[in-house]
Amino acid sequence: MTVNGMVSRARFIFVQLQERLWVKPLMVGLLSIAAALAASKADSYTRLATVLPRVSAESVESLLSIMASSMLVIATFAVASMVSAYASASTTASPRSFALVIADDISQRALSTFIGAFIFSIVGLTAAKNGFFGGAGIFVLFLFTAFVFGLVILTFVYWVDRIARLGRLGNTVDQVEEATVNALGQRRIAPTLCAVQDDPENDSGVAVTAESAGYVQRIDVASLQEFAEQIDGKVRVVVLPGSFVSPERVLAYVMADADAKDWEPHVVAAAFKIDKQRTYYEDPRYGLVVLSQIAARALSPAVNDPGTAIDVCGTLVRLFLFWSAPLDEGETAEILYDRIMVPELSVEDMFDDAFIAIERDGCASLEVAIRVQKAMATLAAAGHAVMRQAALRHSARALVYARKGLLLDEDVAAVQALAVAETADTEKG
């Protein structure tokens, strides 16, 4: 496997580990054990005992006892607060935002600090009571204890400010937007995953289907390149991360000469990581879907919060403007996999992911209908030809929905007046 392929796979694994709540506490716990035991190394330097100030073992043991008893309580409180925030994010925003909320760095760092301080105090207290440290070791342990104690206080104060917003609707929308920007940024630079642009009219080759049902989370293009070089052929990928596949769904077409050596379809299928859920990392459309779901939930009769839908529209406009912005010179990734063909993201599909639910569920709300038309006007004027056509189509859709949903003719006229010019002219004709 190439270096780029290894780096890409390592990044994907790292992002997945960030969503596991146990990873950071485990690492900090191991570090805490090492720190507590490392204090004994100071006793191997006999001169340190005569230079360092004397600290009674009883005082250090008292501090460690206080920390041990309090950290477990704080860690329990932290877990309860985080679970409450996770539940709030799932109910007020969207269950699909749960992965982002649980991957919050500050909350994970706080929980890791509390658990690590608890483990450190237990290990240090046990070692101190059993005479594991000499004079120098006790002083170093005291310094470690003071450092950990100060770190806990600072972390707790900072974390309380964070947990007050974690799981709240606005904060969740911001997290989804940030994850989507990251995914869009990667795809802007490498629209074909560093492979060759796909030719949709080319339907030749041997079809390779999925081995299980689920969502494509990642495509290991480097492995496909290595496979294509081995058979001296090419591979045409027909699905992208985020696609739902099943055993009858074609993943790719393998094009090889008749005299090429035999190859196994499962080797190609193994390059497509399929799981039960979509992820944000390599699937920019997923973030658009989640934002649309948040707006649709806000527009439901049970919630009736058009303001959130309006805010989400603004977020979606920012994301599409970011997507259509021109790249700087040299920012586009080079073609690394010349034997692999991958399609680009469809702007039409991205617009459907983002706006269909808002247009449908917000048709009876004048302020939402107006905001959608303003959003389409902004995106139509962004200077991106394909995006303009998508904006015109959705402006027309939203206008039709508004005519069916709004009760007053003057409200319909207000929405029609804001529709994109070409759309309004078409409707009048």
pLDDT tens-digit series, residues 358-412: 999 999 999 999 999 999 999 999 989 999 999 999 999 999 999 999 999 999 9
Q: How far apart are CA 7 and CA 2, in angstroms?
A: 9
Residues 70 and 132 sit within 8 Å (Cβ to Cβ): no
Q: Which residue has the tokens 């035999």?
A: 262
pLDDT tens-digit series, residues 224-233: 999 999 888 8
- Give percent above pLDDT 70 in the chain: 88
Q: How far apart are CA 381 and CA 315, in angstroms?
A: 17
All residues at 6 or more sequence positions from 63 whose CB lies less than 8 Å from its CB, including other chains: 142, 145, 146, 149
pLDDT tens-digit series, residues 328-368: 877 788 899 999 999 999 999 999 999 999 999 999 999 99
Please report the DSSP string for 144-175 in residue order. Answer: HHHHHHHHHHHHHHHHHHHHTTTT-HHHHHHH
Lowest mean pLDDT of 5-9, 38-42, 183-187, 337-341, name the range. 5-9
* Range from 138-147, 308-317, 320-329 that averages highest in pLDDT: 308-317
What percent of the chain is helix, strand and coil (3-state, nearest 5)? Answer: 65, 10, 25
Q: How far apart are CA 137 and CA 134, in angstroms?
A: 5
pLDDT tens-digit series, residues 213-248: 999 999 999 999 999 998 888 999 999 999 999 998
Write down the mean pLDDT value for the chain.
85
- The reply to whether the predicted model has a pTM over 0.75 is yes
pLDDT tens-digit series, residues 14-24: 656 655 666 77
Q: 2 pLDDT exceeds 60?
A: no
- Give percent above pLDDT 90 in the chain: 46
* Count of CA atoms in the C-beta half-sphere (13 A) of 149: 17
Give the residue among 50, 39, 21 at the shortest CA–CA distance from 145: 39
As a whole number of Å, the end-to-end CA separation of the chain is 59
At 397, phi and psi to the nearest 5?
A: -60, -45
Neighbours of 127 (CB within 10 A): 18
If residue 207 lies in a helix (H) or strand (E), which one and from where to where? strand 206-209
pLDDT at 260 (0 to 100): 64
CA angle 104/108/109 to nearest 5° reads 115
Q: How far apart are CA 186 and CA 184, in angstroms?
A: 5
One-letter amino acid identity for 390? A
Give the residue among 294, 304, 306, 299 at the shortest CA–CA distance from 93: 294
If residue 234 lies in a helix (H) or strand (E), which one and from where to where? strand 234-237
Q: How far apart are CA 163 and CA 161, in angstroms?
A: 6
Q: How far apart are CA 180 and CA 174, in angstroms?
A: 10
Report, as an integer, the average pLDDT of 127-156. Answer: 85
Q: How far apart are CA 413 and CA 421, in angstroms?
A: 14
pLDDT at 429 (0 to 100): 43
* Range from 99-113, 129-143, 375-389 that averages highest in pLDDT: 375-389
pLDDT tens-digit series, residues 38-78: 777 776 766 665 667 778 888 888 888 988 888 888 888 88
User: pLDDT higher for 342 or 163?
Assistant: 342
pLDDT at 225 (0 to 100): 92
Q: How far apart are CA 26 and CA 32, in angstroms?
A: 10
